[in-house]
Amino acid sequence: MDAPHLAVVGGGQLARMMQQAAIGSGIRIRLLAEGPDVSAAQVVPDRLVGDHTVLADLERVCEGVAVVTFDHEHVPPEHLRALAAAGHAPRPGPHALLFAQDKAEMRARLAELGVPGPAHAVVADPQDLTDFAGRVGGFPVIVKTTRGGYDGKGVWKVDAADEAAEAFASGRTLIAEELVDFRRELSAQVARRPSGEVVAYPVVQSRQDDGICREVIAPAPDLDAGLAAQAEQIARTLAVELDVVGMLAVELFETSDGRVLVNELAMRPHNTGHWSIDGSATSQFENHLRAVLDLPLGPTAARAPWSVMVNVLGGSVTDLEAQLAEVLAQVPEARVHLYGKAVRSGRKVGHVTVVGDDLDQVRSRARLAADLLENG
Amino acid sequence: MDAPHLAVVGGGQLARMMQQAAIGSGIRIRLLAEGPDVSAAQVVPDRLVGDHTVLADLERVCEGVAVVTFDHEHVPPEHLRALAAAGHAPRPGPHALLFAQDKAEMRARLAELGVPGPAHAVVADPQDLTDFAGRVGGFPVIVKTTRGGYDGKGVWKVDAADEAAEAFASGRTLIAEELVDFRRELSAQVARRPSGEVVAYPVVQSRQDDGICREVIAPAPDLDAGLAAQAEQIARTLAVELDVVGMLAVELFETSDGRVLVNELAMRPHNTGHWSIDGSATSQFENHLRAVLDLPLGPTAARAPWSVMVNVLGGSVTDLEAQLAEVLAQVPEARVHLYGKAVRSGRKVGHVTVVGDDLDQVRSRARLAADLLENG
């Protein structure tokens, strides 16, 4: 088999969808997967099973491969530096990825850059937390682990300092953030390649339930043009200033008083960009591959006035593929994406996108299709 | 690994593009490939290397799998019948596939059905051929092997009976067809599932050079609405009457005097339908998978007024992936598809599709992108 063009660490659905894009472009991926039958391992023949926290496993997947990219942000920074020192190109690089791995580093850097975000402070104990709450108008406030959280894990809304006892007891570094009074959540995505080119996707609206992305509307309906431009500009600025290579997602709050504040960063294809597979001229997965391989980036314009993506979370339907017949019969226009994952309650196991001219209809059709895959 | 949903025989680019569609739908494919690194074997982990003319190899790939489909039409009918007798479902079935495998059978059946085609006759020797030519106004006429031809192989235009000496010497059954005075070639594609549903794609125009598909325009420009309806109806009729399951492509001549005549049949995704990956609401590969798995078929409407697909044939560029940067820089809107095949002169190694509103521009951009991949 010819040498791979790209190593990908992590075998989740993001790597699976990267492979779908890679097939079209003739790009050969070598995968480091958590197990032989995880989502992406089902569709990438050139795969090794290993642990992304073990340097030797990372070295194995990178052997003979120049560029390495990631399904997630959990590779230890020291391992990324070791790979770089050995002549590989982790993209994004460890100096950039740090700001997606560590929320305290991210908040500090964004403050330096003058990018708007919620008030925040690293808190070492309940007294720190109480002091912080006092400065932002009192409880409730948000407490997060600075590292390792995702999909709502490692995030708590606390009404009093003692509610954070468990978080403090974990021994992990915590950051407190003001509870933002927001109208909705937005996401601004850009792709950036090492040679500098940046392309931006339309700013989208996302709805999170219990910290898990549930529904994305592209573009964000009725978004003030000035705010949309500001959100895009924040994403462009961060991509350049943090030296991101690949996709960057900037999750934002649109506050009730009409500002945007940065909530989270992700340096990889992101759930808020899945709509782009069916709704954009170039999917986020293809542009991520192009960006990390330093190829010209593709156009990001929407193909239709509206795209709505609804996540499929594990529900009462256990055989998703068997349920396809029902979904496609009732919602023939649905673009159904299944990840090859075993169904567990609340787990992301797929998504559905519908595109069209009428937002209400597109949204109700996408919701119907997702509901049929969750609840039958 | 969970059991596959579908066995696919043959590891060419059609199987590769089926896998791309299968990934999205969570459909697990097991592949019988000609070698460990052929086009589709590069992207299907669950693959066996074997020979599609050896029943034992076919039985291996079908073990535990209900439905089997094909990258090509070269599996011997007796093997298909043996698989069916063993409880598998070859789709299309041997009784249907016969008409794509054997041009004499196809011509006879189409004549019974009253479907228009060129005058034709099976010819056993040069005298037969001379007699046939006499009946259709003289030489030149077309001579074809009834079985095994593709991409212009097994087809000759002969100006005299002695020019067919080599063909007769091969010992293969030959069919002669009148040389059709045609304005252009068209292709009508439909998908049909076992439960009876049929969907039709827009009728397209194709241009062949030396028997190899070079360029496809969807829909066929300036096609008379009556002829378009007739072409679609022929494809629908043949799908039903021949009991085709999966994609059916009917290649047609539009004659200079304004008729359509059937040229060839293919019962699988077809080169004239590659535009549908980027240009249609549902690609032919996805609808082929849905059809053979008896899932509801997807909408076939074009996403844009025009789609132009140009094949990339092996030329002076030897590292296609390395040439991607140049192509994407010059034609950012091009949808480039590379098949992972080694470049050999004239070999189909990829295709490019451009979609848009202005046919002349779409066509020239697609041609430019393909030319850059062929000739640098």
- Give residue-wise pLDDT tens across range B80-91: 999 999 999 999
Domain B182-375 has CATH 3.30.470.20: yes
**What is the structure's pLDDT at B148?**
78
Chain B, 300 to 319: residues with Cβ < 8 Å from chain A are 303
Query: Does the fold of domain B119-178 match that of domain B6-90?
Result: no
State yes or no: pLDDT of B210 exceeds 90.
no
Output the average pLDDT for chain B: 95
State yes or no: pLDDT of B1 exceeds 60.
no
Give the homologous superfamily in CATH for domain A119-178: ATP-grasp fold, A domain (3.30.1490.20)
Put simply, the answer to whether B26 touches A295 (Cβ < 8 Å) is no
Q: What is the pLDDT of residues A19-49, one digit of tens each?
A: 999 999 999 999 999 999 999 999 999 999 9
* Residue ranges per structural domain of chain B: 6-90, 119-178, 182-375
pLDDT confidence band for A59 (50 / 70 / 90)? very high
Q: Does A337 touch chain B (CB under 8 A)?
A: yes
The alpha-carbon gap from B27 to the nearest alpha carbon of chain A, in Å, equals: 7
Helices (H), chain A: 13-25, 55-62, 77-85, 94-101, 103-113, 126-135, 165-169, 225-241, 276-279, 284-292, 320-330, 359-375
| Long-range contacts of the stretch B343-348 (C-beta < 8 A, 24+) | B343/B314, B343/B315, B343/B317, B343/B318, B344/B314, B345/B313, B345/B314, B345/B315, B346/B212, B346/B313, B346/B314, B347/B313, B347/B314, B348/B13, B348/B151, B348/B212, B348/B271, B348/B311, B348/B312, B348/B313
The number of angstroms, rounded, from the C-alpha of B48 to the middle of its chain's C-alpha atoms is: 24
Tally the residues of chain A.
376
Cα–Cα dist A159/A163, whole Å: 7
Strands B174-178 and B141-145, bridge-based pairing: antiparallel
Chain A residues lying within 8 Å of B297, measured CB to CB = 332
Q: Does A288 touch chain B (CB under 8 A)?
A: no
Put simply, the answer to whether A290 touches B328 (Cβ < 8 Å) is yes
Put simply, the answer to whether B303 touches A303 (Cβ < 8 Å) is yes
Q: Can you tell me the mean pLDDT for A310-334?
A: 95
- CB-based contacts of A223, cutoff 8 Å, min separation 6: A186, A203, A205, A254
Q: Is B177 annotated among the ligand-binding residues?
A: yes
Chain A residues lying within 8 Å of B27, measured CB to CB = 321
Output the average pLDDT for chain A: 95
Cα–Cα dist A277/A300, whole Å: 11
* Candidate from A20, A28, A325 with C-beta closest to B295: A325
State yes or no: pLDDT of A1 exceeds 60.
no
**What is the structure's pLDDT at A170?**
83
| Residue of chain A nearest B320, judged by CA positions | A26
SS3 category, B172 = coil
Spatial CA neighbour of B99 closest among B87, B86, B88, B109: B109
* Candidate from A25, A44, A329 with C-beta closest to B336: A25
* Candidate from B36, B45, B350 with C-beta closest to A26: B350
Strand arrangement, sheet containing B6-9: B47-49, B29-33, B6-9, B67-70, B89-90
Chain B residues lying within 8 Å of A303, measured CB to CB = 303
Put simply, the answer to whether B20 touches A25 (Cβ < 8 Å) is no
Chain A residues lying within 8 Å of B37, measured CB to CB = 1-2
Structure tokens at A102: 């560590």
Q: What is the pLDDT of residues A176-210, one digit of tens each?
A: 999 999 999 999 999 999 999 999 999 999 998 88
In this structure, the number of other CB atoms found within 10 A of the CB of residue A125 comes to 12
State yes or no: pLDDT of B151 exceeds 80.
no
Instruction: Report DSSP state, residue A281.
Output: S
Q: Can you tell me the mean pLDDT for A230-259?
A: 98
Q: Can you tell me the mean pLDDT for B146-155?
A: 79
**What is the structure's pLDDT at A150?**
67
Mutate to test the interface with B, among A13, A17, A42, A337 (most CBs of B within 10 A): A42
The alpha-carbon gap from B128 to the nearest alpha carbon of chain A, in Å, equals: 48
Domain B6-90 has CATH 3.40.50.20: yes
Q: Can you tell me the mean pLDDT for B339-357?
A: 96
Chain A residues lying within 8 Å of B44, measured CB to CB = 43, 45
The alpha-carbon gap from B238 to the nearest alpha carbon of chain A, in Å, equals: 24
Q: Does A336 touch chain B (CB under 8 A)?
A: yes
Tally the residues of chain B.
376
Q: Which of A75-84, A111-120, A147-156, B323-332 has the lowest mean pLDDT?
A: A147-156
Q: Assess contact for B133 and B178: CB atoms under 8 A.
A: no
Chain B residues lying within 8 Å of A44, measured CB to CB = 43, 45
Q: Which of A152-156, B160-164, B357-361 has the lowest mean pLDDT?
A: A152-156
Q: Can you tell me the mean pLDDT for B319-344?
A: 95
Chain B, 33 to 92: residues with Cβ < 8 Å from chain A are 36-37, 41-45, 47
